[in-house]
Structure 1
Amino acid sequence: MCSPLHQPDGPLPNAASRRTFLRATGLTGAATAAAAATGGLAAAPAAALPRQKSADNVASWRPDPESPRFTLVVMPDTQYLFDGASINSEPVEASLRYIIDHGRDENIVFLSHLGDLTENGQPREFGPLSEAFELLDRRRVGYSVVAGNHDIKSSTDDQRGRTPYLDAFGPQRMRRLPTFGGATPDGYNTYHRFRAAGREWLVLALDWRPSAASLAWARDVIAKHPKTPVVLTTHELVYADQYGDEAELSPHGKHLWDELIADHDQIFLTLNGHYWPAARTTRTNTAGHDVHLHITNYQNRYYGGSAMIRLYRFDLARNTIDVETISPWILGRAGDGLNELERREIEMTGPQDSFSVPIDFEKRFAGFAPVPARGPRPAAKMLLPGTVAYWRFDGTHQDGSPADAALRVPDLSGHRNDLTRETVPGTPADALRWSKSHHFDQPGHGSLYFDGGKPPLRGAYLRTDANAPLNAKTFRSGYTIEAFIKLPADWDAGRHAWGSILSRRGTLGAAGKTEGDPEEPVATLSLSDGPGPQWAAAPLNQPGAVTNWGHELEREVWWHLAVVNDAKHTTMYVDGCQVARNPATRTSGLATIGLPWLVGGYEYGGTLDQLLHGWLGDVRIVERALPVRDFMIA
């Protein structure tokens, strides 16, 4: 019986949000028009509600398989909407139309129904529900269903034989869909695959009581897809005594955990209905990794839960799953007056209904599908036409060892812009040291750690020779400057702000620039007190420096910075993404008085003033504007 082990006391702490009502004005559709004609729907009997129809010309269901953001939709127990003579498919149809109508903007990849589709498992109950799901069939939208205890004889396992459930939603129906992978011989257990975020995902949909043979089948399915993350759906797995409690494994859930979930690291998320209230928990599997176990069921709510759906919005760019629970049936009429209970049910906003799950997907899946590390790339491949300087700090150096006092870093472009070490007197030898740390997309697998700062001024830096050709370059045809940088946890604005990654000696005043502080250098890529990247440089065509600003950079993370000038404007990029504060000022070329470039050092008034505190990887200068596709991270 689909009742809670312990029902919560008092009303549940959920209410409609203003955000939902504002959003819903765009979802009213045909129901709103009907309401306008009849004076509102709030008081109308449910059976008399007008049927909402999607437009016939809705685009085909084609999720974006490469976007890092996609949505998995979950529909829990709908049994009270299909109970003997009490049949109302409108709420379910509204939820299915939501999937169709919002498939593109939500990048919806799949729907999982969690069982107890009907109350009594009778053909006359399955008929209207089966017809509703034809909305998805016609557009070949991928979905799965599982049998709940109300859909079949609850005392049986998946060897129960033919049932109305199987006639309506068996493999003979599912195999028409592009996501269907296969089923057990009995037809009650299925698996489904879809592509999202550039990889394959698998949904394992298990019966109310899978037999030992079916669990062996499930293990085999996982074994045959050894690098595929698995979402397990079944009707019963976890429960909670009261709203707000942490979920616990039910006796059957413990059986599934012991026999399947715990030893299969690919299963990272499980979804089930059956009990209420909604709840969740996290357990550690035998590989030492988190498995997220969620229960969602709203049949105890107004109108049998009104076919509420859960939107699991995966965001691999943010390493997060954002979860939202809504009633499209009520949302579709939110432009009209809703009754008191509808206003409460339009969206569930409690902490067990609307929440975010942080998951480092790459790390979580590394045990079975590690992302291969990008190997080092030969320096010759980085020498694009127009490269005038390229320095990298890889090699056979021992990690953490001090750089030689007479260090000379060759210019791998072949243009003789070699770098030599300069050290502030009294600075220890290890103020500049080798490191194996590097950006994962960096061509050279190594870096230099600059332990600089002020006050008092200490550290080491690198500079070009006095006669290096780079010193005289004015870059009239444009330029691209790239560098990889990581800041340590102890980076402090008071001691380390304005340390420079790359700068050009010579002041604005000496270069004849009349605007701004004449003591500032003619060009510097520095780190503000944010810390954020700042490119402040004097173009040939302007009376002073023009500044590009990036955003605050997280410490202990490698970043790729790029400054690109196309002889008209200068644009800054962080990890290949254009930043906001790029001035529209026309900028052409770079002022110079023929003095050396500094790596890790910054001068003010022609005197060394600040030294870099952090790791510096490959640095490249090209005398033309490069597109992002040609950056070193490409």
Structure 2
Amino acid sequence: MSRRSLLWAAASAPVVAATAGAAGAAAATATTRAGDRPDEDSPRFAVAVLPDTQYLLDEGGSDPEPVRAALDWLVRARGEAGIAFMTQLGDVTEHGTETEMRLADRVFRTADGKLPYSVLAGNHDVSGDDQRGDTPYLRTFGPRRFSKDKTFGGASPDGYHHFHVVKAGGRRWLVLAIDWRASDAGIAWAQRVIDTHATLPAILTTHDLVWADDAGLAHLSDNGQRLWDRLIRGNDQIFLALGGHYWPPGRTTMTNDHGNPVHLHITNYQDRYYGGAGMVRLYHFDLVRDVIDVETFSPWLRERVADKPSLLEEETAELTGDVDRFTVPVDFGTRFAGFAPPVLPAPRPPRAVMPRGTVAYWRFDHTGLAGAGTDGAPVPPGTVARDLTGNGNDLKAELLHASGPGALTWSAEHHDDAPAHASLRFDGGKQPDRGAVLRTGPGAPVNAMRFESGYTIETFLKLPSPFTGDHAWMGILSWEGRAGDAGKHSGWSDDEPTCSLNLSGERFLQFVVYPVPGDADPTSWSHAVPVGHWMHVAVVNDGRHTTMYVDGSRIARNAAEESTGISTLGKPFAIGGTQFAEAYGQGFFGWIGDTRVVARALRPDQFLTAR
């Protein structure tokens, strides 16, 4: 089921099994009942936006049903679509009268107590700035309405600004609902809220922020410029700012005083068919993919289209233009690091990651590598990486060919879940061949072990970004020796080693092994792995078959052939390269972290990433 089908189904079905669609991230992954609360720890959640509804809440003649239907859908789809919060962007009504506010009150009761949300005043709801005093709007959507919501954090003394703290994605988020005209006092209040919640990423919502040209490029309005200068640009926490008021919709990205991007969007469809038809926009946060996927649709029209739609209903039910359906890339960890540095797991001692059957364990911090500790410092030839099991499988660094000292350096970079907070940076390549390897000595036990009862080989890898140069078929780790010398002739060449993990020109991981019995070379192939991103790779053999895992996920292209053991020849095990005809060509290009060999099959929850 695609994401589009999922959301459509959620509008009418009481129970839906959800799967993430390739086009976006409406990403619930389990069957839930309509109206269930979303999982606050899921890395995927949504923030809903309900823009100007004024033409549908007009005492002079309108139809509030699309707004009620939108709120009803948001309530029912909350758990399924992971909707953590809904924010309305002002101009709730056309004239801001008592009559219209009573109508708005009845319509918004659909969500009261069922979905946390905010409402802010637009120019059709009020006039003047936030010091205007009492109004029908304030009596309807003032602080008392939200005071019982768990997300509600407080309001300004005048009552026209309020803030919410939303729990989603395993963290807390600040949502500011700012009046359409914030006075100096209102801006000072907002600054105090931000200062009080100094580690929370913030979404600012207001009515008048940006306007857009016909191409969808947004520009600050006069009021938006004031907010930018007085509040947004100096507060790194504000990464997303949303406004209504103008049409057409549009977006832009600006750089704040901290050098970070701020995404500013206008969302308003009141000029469209049926006064916008209760249009809803969903911002699907995906903290795994580091994106926000945005979609825009009318729940009310979707239900009508499922029956006997008119042409305009079909055209308006879902909007897919560049300003209506798009993806915003956000490296959440980097973007928020300035005010909320990530709390990384502490390093784990070697004894904590050496389960029964561990043959060898190498790490490149001070516990395992002599001289480790200076980021970027060369690792001299002859440097020893100790086998921390005490089994005698120490590695010794060697430069390949005429490589200089930059071919192997120590690095403080590491996978977040790696036991050691260190790695080695290899600068291998072709034309001419260069690189470095770390090899066991001639008498190391791992050289001749055959692992006929099974094995698990794990390592942490990172490929540079950009991934420049020709690095096709570079080796990552291997046992030396010719397959032909082991009596194996079925593979690509008798000159390739009996076991190796390599990277193809298409960036597919290749694990090829010549088992002990028989003449075969069962090979596993991963997908194209990313660049600029740490990954954990595990190859697990249960004594009969081999399975590769990338970041704990089983790959598809595992060899169907039976595979028992490794036809080792008593020759060194190496990290950083693969021999051909018993000679090294190019070396590895990138980072390698903790590497472990265990003489039995481990489960994913026993990998080096497990805690």
TM-score, normalised to structure 2's length?
Answer: 0.88
Q: CA deviation at 1:540?
A: 3.6
Letter in 2 for 1:174: F
For each residue in 1:103-145, what CA deviation from the matched residue of structure 2 results, as whole angstroms up to 9, or x when unmatched? 223211111111111112223323333222222225x210010
Q: Give secondary structure in 1 for the equivalent of 2:527.
A: coil
Paired position in structure 1 for 2:97: 122
Q: Give secondary structure in 1 for the equivalent of 2:341.
A: coil
Q: Give secondary structure in 2 for the equivalent of 1:601.
A: coil
- Distance between the aligned counterparts of 2:291 and 2:101, measured in 1? 36
The reply on whether 1:78 has 2:72 as its aligned counterpart is no
1:398-413 matches, within 5 Å, as: 398-413=374-389
Higher relative contact order (CA 8 A, sep 6+): 1
The reply on whether 1:366 has 2:340 as its aligned counterpart is no
Q: What runs of 5+ residues in structure 2 fail to find an aligned partner?
A: 14-31
Distance 1:448 1:217, change over 3 A: closer
- Distance between the aligned counterparts of 2:224 and 2:559, measured in 1? 59
1:27 and 1:332 in contact (8 A); partners too: no
Paired position in structure 1 for 2:496: 520
2:10 and 2:34 in contact (8 A); partners too: no
For each residue in 1:244-299, what CA deviation from the matched residue of structure 2 results, as whole angstroms up to 9, or x when unmatched? 25322222222322332222221111111112221222223222322222111111
Q: What runs of 5+ residues in structure 1 fail to find an aligned partner?
A: 1-18, 31-56
Q: Give secondary structure in 2 for the equivalent of 1:515.
A: coil
- Distance between the aligned counterparts of 1:27 and 1:403, measured in 2? 57
1:444-459 matches, within 5 Å, as: 444-454=420-430, 457-459=433-435
Paired position in structure 2 for 1:150: 124
- Distance between the aligned counterparts of 1:371 and 1:98, measured in 2? 35
Distance 1:351 1:475, change over 3 A: same
* 2:507 aligned residue (525, 531, 536): 531
- Distance between the aligned counterparts of 1:531 and 1:267, measured in 2? 37
The reply on whether 1:261 has 2:245 as its aligned counterpart is no
The reply on whether 1:340 has 2:315 as its aligned counterpart is no
Paired position in structure 2 for 1:243: 214
Q: CA deviation at 1:491?
A: 5.7
- Distance between the aligned counterparts of 2:564 and 2:336, measured in 1? 47
Distance 1:503 1:169, change over 3 A: same
For each residue in 1:51-110, what CA deviation from the matched residue of structure 2 results, as whole angstroms up to 9, or x when unmatched? xxxxxx954431111122111111111111111142422101221122123222321111
Paired position in structure 1 for 2:64: 89
1:28 and 1:333 in contact (8 A); partners too: no
Q: CA deviation at 1:430?
A: 4.8
Distance 1:535 1:176, change over 3 A: same
Q: Give secondary structure in 2 for the equivalent of 1:503.
A: strand
- Distance between the aligned counterparts of 2:527 and 2:188, measured in 1? 52
1:12-27 matches, within 5 Å, as: 26=9
After TM superposition, the structure 1 stretch with the greater mean CA deviation from structure 2, 370-379 or 249-258, is 370-379
1:74-473 matches, within 5 Å, as: 74-138=49-113, 140-152=114-126, 154-155=127-128, 157-240=129-212, 242-395=213-366, 396-397=371-372, 398-424=374-400, 426-428=402-404, 430-454=406-430, 457-473=433-449
Distance 1:170 1:585, change over 3 A: farther
- Distance between the aligned counterparts of 2:408 and 2:10, measured in 1? 60
Q: CA deviation at 1:547?
A: 1.0
Distance 1:229 1:492, change over 3 A: closer
Paired position in structure 2 for 1:63: 38
Letter in 2 for 1:537: V
Letter in 2 for 1:479: Y
For each residue in 1:426-461, what CA deviation from the matched residue of structure 2 results, as whole angstroms up to 9, or x when unmatched? 554554444444334333343334444456554442
Q: Give secondary structure in 2 for the equivalent of 1:71.
A: strand
- Distance between the aligned counterparts of 1:315 and 1:594, measured in 2? 48
2:454 and 2:599 in contact (8 A); partners too: yes
Q: CA deviation at 1:363?
A: 1.6
Paired position in structure 2 for 1:549: 525
Q: Give secondary structure in 2 for the equivalent of 1:481.
A: strand
Q: Give secondary structure in 2 for the equivalent of 1:236.
A: coil
Distance 1:388 1:171, change over 3 A: same
2:38 and 2:80 in contact (8 A); partners too: no
TM-score, normalised to structure 1's length?
Answer: 0.85
For each residue in 1:190-215, what CA deviation from the matched residue of structure 2 results, as whole angstroms up to 9, or x when unmatched? 11111111110111112222333332
- Distance between the aligned counterparts of 2:217 and 2:564, measured in 1? 62
Q: CA deviation at 1:343?
A: 2.3
Distance 1:179 1:538, change over 3 A: same
Q: Give secondary structure in 1 for the equivalent of 2:109.
A: helix
Q: Give secondary structure in 2 for the equivalent of 1:93.
A: helix
- Distance between the aligned counterparts of 2:550 and 2:103, measured in 1? 54
Paired position in structure 2 for 1:483: 459
Size of the aligned set, in residue pairs, is 585
- Distance between the aligned counterparts of 1:275 and 1:99, measured in 2? 24
1:422 and 1:461 in contact (8 A); partners too: yes
Distance 1:354 1:601, change over 3 A: closer
Distance 1:287 1:25, change over 3 A: closer
Larger Rg: 1
For each residue in 1:540-569, what CA deviation from the matched residue of structure 2 results, as whole angstroms up to 9, or x when unmatched? 455312111112233444332211223343
Distance 1:58 1:124, change over 3 A: farther
Letter in 1 for 2:71: L
Distance 1:588 1:287, change over 3 A: same
1:273 and 1:295 in contact (8 A); partners too: yes
- Distance between the aligned counterparts of 2:541 and 2:463, measured in 1? 26
1:520 and 1:604 in contact (8 A); partners too: yes
Paired position in structure 1 for 2:477: 502
